Structure 1
Amino acid sequence: MDTDKLGEAAAAAGNPPEAEKRRGVAAPGAATVFVLVALPLMLVSSYFFGDLAADAVVRLHRFKESSSSSSPAPAPADRLLGGLLSPGFDEASCLSRYEASRRWKPSPFPVSPYLVERLRRYEANHRRCGPGTARYRDAIARLRSGDADGDRGECRYVVWLPIQGLGNRMLSLVSTFLYALLTGRVVLVHEPPEMEGLFCEPFPGTSWLLPPDFPYKDGFSAASNESYVNMLKNGVVRYDGSDGGVLPPYVYFHLEQIHLRLQNHTFCEEDHRVLDRFNWMVLRSDSYFAVALFLVPAYRAELERMFPAKGSVFHHLGRYLFHPGNRAWGIVERFYDGYLAGADERLGLQVRIVPQMAVPFDVMYEQILRCTREHGLLAQVTSTSEPAGGGGARPPPPTKVKAVLVVSLKREYYDKLHGVYYTNATANGEVVAVYQPSHDADQHTEARAHNERALAEIYLLSFSDAVVTTAWSTFGYVAHALAGLRPWQLAPLDWSKMRADVACARPPSVEPCLHSPPSLVCRARQDPDPAAHLPFLRHCEDVPAGLKLFD
């Protein structure tokens, strides 16, 4: 995600993006877009574009007038997302919960009635066992005393610990929630200061936040004695139960990406039978390990019933779980209504440059242009400020106004692309307006305001009609999966040529990629490549070793 130092005060005030400041345009609301945007833009455009941009703005204004007076009212949005969401929340406390559906395109995936049933059952169990209940107080007292209660307890928990950036956190949290659905656990989310208020509570009548006095949330790593792998190695737990049934009070499940491979002994069926004996699990992951849950035969039938379309897992669970808090949602609404809502079409362009593999700007920019023009996502320019046709005649109204949303930590991509379409007419008469909400230069996951802007830009991208995303980017995965859009994914660079042979390609699935699949060396089977024989798995286009779900 890419955010400038707009700051919380600027975001709250609805300040316009940098391009609009240079044009002297104040941030508009949707209802006043003609007065606050069209009129100043017409004055400025008379110098840069002749009458072309003015005609575009007038056409948009007339369209808004006619649509509000004579056109039939648009069909109401599916506020409950096909049954995913529960009604009855206090809407003012979380404006995004029922508002996001007005801006998303309709989902390409029908919601399974069985998934809806499972979500309602989960919510009921969370209300019974969540923080503040007598059952939770009893369970935490047993945990503190070291009483493992070897039998399956009345309430069982998985505590999620965050790691890495926002995209990784959202991928791992959806995966953890899916694991909880499959195993009858209650998810408790550790919310550090940089995440406070970032998301609304997703479950009615209860909280998913881990109480601050929970004793086990710091100091964990793959080397921890409490790690399941180390417990198994040291004989603390055994597959055959010869450990005598005396268990530690909790288990730590470490699912962090290490050299593009999750640890062994994490997704074998016998391991999950052992893990199921613990009432308390502490889990930390930076990966979309939901994919790996499909590798456990014991879970597969339930997963099939919840997700007849395998490519819908993150799409449905992400829309169910994640609702930006009111501060982040305010950024979304102000920017979308002020700069994107009036366009005929919206293109999202997400550029993530990893410092360890920094692609030079000129190389990446050339690849973006190849991708967008080869696939008709952006119009060619005429290398002149005169509209197509020339001759001084008044040009016809533009065929389309396209808004391009650039999301990047760097501002150079916006500057270059904006300059091209600001000073040159397009060959097809289309007006292209380029915007970038922010550009922080570097990622600051430790800063709450940065994360709020990151979350806002994920949602702004998800409201696009088409998206171009960067290979390997978990941020991009989350945005296009929420949208239900197959992205145009920029291909990894061939470093020997300093060029990608193919600029971009569309994956067959909207699902995120599991960069680091587990090594399935199990007692019952050796499976070095599950994608070779499981029909719903493929290797990822951007990470050849990775796995993704598809239909």
Structure 2
Amino acid sequence: MLALASTFLHALLTDRVLLVHAPHEFDGLFCEPFPGSSWTLPAGFPIADFDGTFTMLSPTSYKNMKKAGTINGGENPNVTAETLPAYVFLDLIQSYTGAAFCEADQRVLAKFNWMVVKSDVYFATAFFLMPVYRRELARLFPEKEAAFHHLARYLFHPSNDVWAIVREFHEAYLAGADERIGLQVRVFPELPVPFETMYGQIMRCSEQEGLLPKVAERNAAAARNTSAVSSPDGRKTKLTSILVTSLSPEYYERIRGVYQANRAETGGYVAVHQPSHDGVQHTEARGHNQRALAEIYLLSFCDRIVTTAVSTFGYVAHGLAGVRPWVLLRSPSPGTPAEPACVRSLSVEPCMQAAPRQMCGAAKGSDIGTLAPYVRHCEDVHGGVKLFS
């Protein structure tokens, strides 16, 4: 969703039509966004094997064309539309070094009839650093940190199947709450933080920022005898719903156990819910992907959102919500707790994680996070940048 929203913005800025190559794992997730037309590549499109055709070694890659001298991305491009191939491949997988974020590059790319973009991350931020697009972007997004929020809410419409999951869960567990707190926990395979370490970080974050309701310890029997509906003077007690999204059930079970055994310090009632816990990702499975998308939208309905550093799942959820999240920072190693446990993001925007090391026109060695007052470094990714208002 992050890459697709970025590509859509590029299409808007360059007067192109957006078409989407939809692999099977894309099925059943979204409705068509544009009335009277389809964003899906038509059947019989000349290129079928996108994964095999477009790789980092592809001769149609813009980077490789520049390296081979086929085209010149300098101030005086030595190409005309008639001398170019029918299409160009813009490879934006993880790294943007030498990609396309110079104005001279954009002039060359504009001469190709077709552009194939391949990306797995958010890159819309880079366009805000290019003077050629500055005026149009200012008109589109007076509040720069709301760029993804508006792009995503316009472009993405969950399918009926996904929305049915969202609606059923929301009506059953979230709609009646006075406050909804979303907690998104993601433990990455390359940094397998133990459960107790991660749970401890969540609790330290909550204590530090006053996120989860404090408990007044007492025995479970007394807690069960307390009315969840009204206080002793007959007034309705506050209901707080905590939504936990994680591949693991352990965080939900531990937090639910805390509030089952102890009443909230303020006397309110706390309910803890988790829609699913699939254990591991199954991006090839339609049902898994539909549940994941539904949980992103459920998180976006929360009043306060806590996300895990580097998680694109969390980026999309708080971006859709238009909410500045609390971010659980990455541990330096699996057994070492993060310090501080979390920080409050100063922006709604997702992080552009693998930002270009150098932007065209900037002094050599300059810090990309200081090139504009509305672009700063991310809280959770060293070297990443994001938009601020």
What TM-score, normalized by structure 2, do the two folds share?
Answer: 0.92
Q: Secondary structure of the residue that 1:226 maps to in structure 2? A: coil
1:427 corresponds to 2:265: yes
Change (3 A) 1:527 1:319: farther
Q: 1:516 aligned to 2:347? A: no
Q: Distance in 2 between matches of 1:460 and 1:212?
A: 34
Please point out which of 8, 15, 35 is paired with 1:184: 15
Q: Following TM superposition, by how much is the alpha carbon of 1:488 offset from its aligned partner in structure 2, in angstroms?
A: 1.0
The aligned runs of 1:338-353 (5 Å cut-off) are 338-353=172-187
CA shift for structure 1 position 301: 1.3
> In the aligned structure 2, how far is the partner of 1:228 from the partner of 1:528?
25
Q: Residue 210 of structure 1 corresponds to which residue in structure 2?
A: 41
Q: Following the alignment from structure 1 to structure 2, what is the Cα–Cα distance between the partners of residues 323 and 182?
A: 22
Preserved CA contact (<8 Å) 2:307 2:325: yes
User: Residue 19 of structure 2: SS of its match in structure 1?
Assistant: strand
- Offset, 1:405: 0.5
Offset from partner CA, 1:506-527 (integer Å, 9 cap, x none): 1111000000001326478646
Native 8 Å contact 1:265 1:522 kept in 2: no
Conserved 8 A contact 1:265-1:521: no
Equivalent position of 1:41 in the other structure = none
- 1: CA distance between counterparts of 2:11 and 2:385? 21
Name 1:254's counterpart in structure 2: 91
**One-letter identity of the residue aligned with 1:370:** R
8 Å CA contact 2:191–2:334 kept in 1: the answer is no
Q: What is the distance in 1 between the residues matched to 2:267 and 2:152?
A: 38
- Equivalents in 2 of 1:364, 1:172: separation in Å? 29
Q: Is the 8 A contact 1:462 1:483 kept in 2?
A: yes
The root-mean-square deviation of aligned C-alpha atoms, in Å, is 2.0
Distance 1:521 1:344, change over 3 A: closer
Question: 1:375 Cα shift?
Answer: 2.1
The separation in 2 between residues aligned to 1:215 and 1:515, in whole angstroms, is 33
Aligned partner of 2:112 in structure 1 is 278
Q: Structure 2 vs 1, CA of residues 267 and 526 (structure 1 numbering), >3 Å: closer, same or farther?
A: farther
Aligned match of 1:417: 255
Aligned to 1:74: none
Say whether residues 1:288 and 2:122 are aligned partners.
yes
- For 1:344, the aligned partner's letter is D
1:242 aligns with 2:113: no
Larger-gyration structure (1/2):
1
Task: Return the alpha-carbon distance in structure 2 between the equivalents of residues 301 and 494 of structure 1.
Answer: 41
1:379 aligns to 2:216 (yes or no): no
CA contact (8 A) 2:325 2:345 kept: yes
Change in 2 beyond 3 A, CA 1:363/1:177: same
Shift of 1:379: 1.9
TM-score, scaled to structure 1: 0.66
SS in 2 for 1:476: helix
1:378 aligned counterpart, secondary structure = coil
How many residues of Structure 1 are paired with residues of Structure 2 in the alignment? 376
Q: After superposition, where does 1:107-126 map in structure 2 within 5 Å?
A: none
| Counterparts in 2 of 1:417 and 1:523: CA distance versus 1, 3 Å | closer
Q: Is the 8 A contact 2:197 2:335 kept in 1?
A: no
The CA distance in 2 between the partners of 1:536 and 1:341, in whole Å, is: 36
For the 8 Å contact 1:346–1:465, the answer to whether it is kept is yes
For CA contacts below 8 A with separation 6 or more, give which structure has more relative contact order: 1
The alpha carbon displacement at 1:236 in A equals 1.6
- The structure-2 alpha-carbon separation of the partners of 1:500 and 1:506, relative to structure 1 and needing over 3 Å to count, comes to same
The aligned residue for residue 489 of structure 1 is 327
Q: CA deviation at 1:332?
A: 0.3
For residues 368 and 299 of structure 1, the distance between their equivalents in structure 2, rounded to whole angstroms, comes to 40
Aligned to 1:433, the other structure's residue is in SS state strand
Alpha-carbon distance, 1:389 to partner: 12
Aligned pairs for 1:289-438 within 5 A: 289-384=123-218, 385=220, 386-387=222-223, 395=232, 399-438=237-276
Shift of 1:387: 5.0
- Is 2:194–2:334's contact at 8 Å kept on the other side of the alignment? no
User: Partners of 1:533 and 1:233 in 2: how far apart?
Assistant: 27
Provide the secondary structure at the position in 1 that maps to 2:116: strand
CA shift, 1:376, in A, is 2.1
Aligned pairs for 1:47-58 within 5 A: none
Aligned equivalents of 1:548, 1:203: Cα separation in 2: 28
Whole-angstrom CA distance in 1 between matches of 2:66 and 2:232: 75
Partner Cα separation in structure 2 for residue 329 and residue 388 of structure 1: 34
Q: Secondary structure at the match of 1:294?
A: helix
User: Matches of 2:15 and 2:209 in 1, distance apart?
Assistant: 46
Select the structure that is richer in helix. 1
Is this contact kept in 2: 1:255–1:263, CA < 8 A?
A: no
Task: Name the CA distance, whole Å, in 2 between partners of 1:363 and 1:298.
Answer: 47
Partner of 1:173: 4
**Structure 2 residue identity aligned to 1:512:** P
The Cα of 1:382 is off from its aligned counterpart by: 2.7
Q: CA 1:184–1:176 in 2, change beyond 3 Å: closer, same or farther?
A: same
Q: Which residue of 2 aligns with 1:15?
A: none
**Any gaps of 5 or more consecutive residues in structure 1?**
1-169
Identity of aligned residues (%): 55
Provide the C-alpha distance between the structure 2 equivalents of 1:296 and 1:521, rounded to a whole number of angstroms: 9
Q: How far does residue 194 in structure 1 lie from its aligned partner after superposition?
A: 1.3
Deviates more, 1:512-521 or 1:214-223: 214-223
Q: 1:373/1:525 Cα in 2 relative to 1: closer, same or farther (>3 Å)?
A: closer
Contact 1:236 1:247 in 2 (8 A): no
1:543 aligns with 2:381: yes
For structure 2, list consecutive stretches of 5 or more residues without a partner in the other structure.
Answer: none
Report if aligned partners of 1:480, 1:510 keep a CA contact under 8 Å in 2. Answer: yes
Deviation (angstroms), 1:308: 1.1
1:373, distance to aligned residue in structure 2 (A): 2.8
The separation in 2 between residues aligned to 1:242 and 1:269, in whole angstroms, is 15
